Amino acid sequence: MFITDTTDAAYPPESHEAESIMDRLTEIMADYATPNLRSTPRLGMDDSLHLEEARSLTGQRRPRLGQVQKLHTLYQLQPFFSRASIETFEGVYEDAGVDWEAVEDGLWHEIEQ
């Protein structure tokens, strides 16, 4: 649904008319996730973002970046991108729904800063 059926006619790279936006986003996510992004500096342990578990104990989907408020370098987002598409698919298969409490908590936390 997000993603065009890849057995359809091949699209030339410069044609965007039929290309799914989510396809493009998925490609970008993969690019961001690769370790060699623009000669990535090695991140120290304390540079890691605190990512939430993608699912609650009951299997509901929740935002991974829910508790992240600061970012000091782009490369900290690599784990988010590399896990995003996998976890999205896994979450949908289970279809336990959304952990709205986690969503709301994250939003309130951020808005009240």
Partner 1 sequence: MDSDKERFPELLSRITAAPSNNIFVNREQEMLSRSLNLRRLSYAMLAAEQNHYLVHLPSIQEKLVDILRTDIVSSRVHSEVYLCLRVMMCRISAQHLTNFWPVILSELLKVFEGAMDDPPADGSEDLLLVLAACKFLDLLLVIQSEDFQMCVLVSCGADHQPPMDVHHRHDRRRLPSRVPRS
- Binds partner 1 (CB under 8 A): choice among 34, 74, 101, 109: 74
Region 86-105 residues binding partner 1, contact defined as CB under 8 A: 86, 88-93, 95, 98-100, 103-104
Give yes or no for residue 14 binding partner 1 (CB under 8 A). no
10 to 3, 15, 29, 73, 83: CA distances (angstroms): 14, 10, 21, 36, 27
Q: Are 108 and 69 in contact (CB under 8 A)?
A: no
Give the bridge partners for 61, in sequence order.
55, 98
Residue 68 binds partner 1 (CB under 8 A) = yes
| Secondary structure (3-state) at 26 | helix
Indicate whether 2 belongs to the interface with partner 1 (CB under 8 A).
yes
Residue pointed to by tokens 């605190």 = 50
DSSP string, 15-31: --SS--HHHHHHHHHHH
Partners of 55 in beta bridges: 61
Q: Is 59 in the site for partner 1 (CB under 8 A)?
A: no
31 or 50: whose CB is closer to partner 1? 31
When asked if residue 9 is in the footprint of partner 1 (CB under 8 A), the reply is no
Interface with partner 1 by CB under 8 A: which residues? Answer: 1-6, 17-22, 24-25, 28, 31-32, 38, 61-66, 68, 71-74, 77, 80, 84-86, 88-93, 95, 98-100, 103-104, 107-108, 110-111
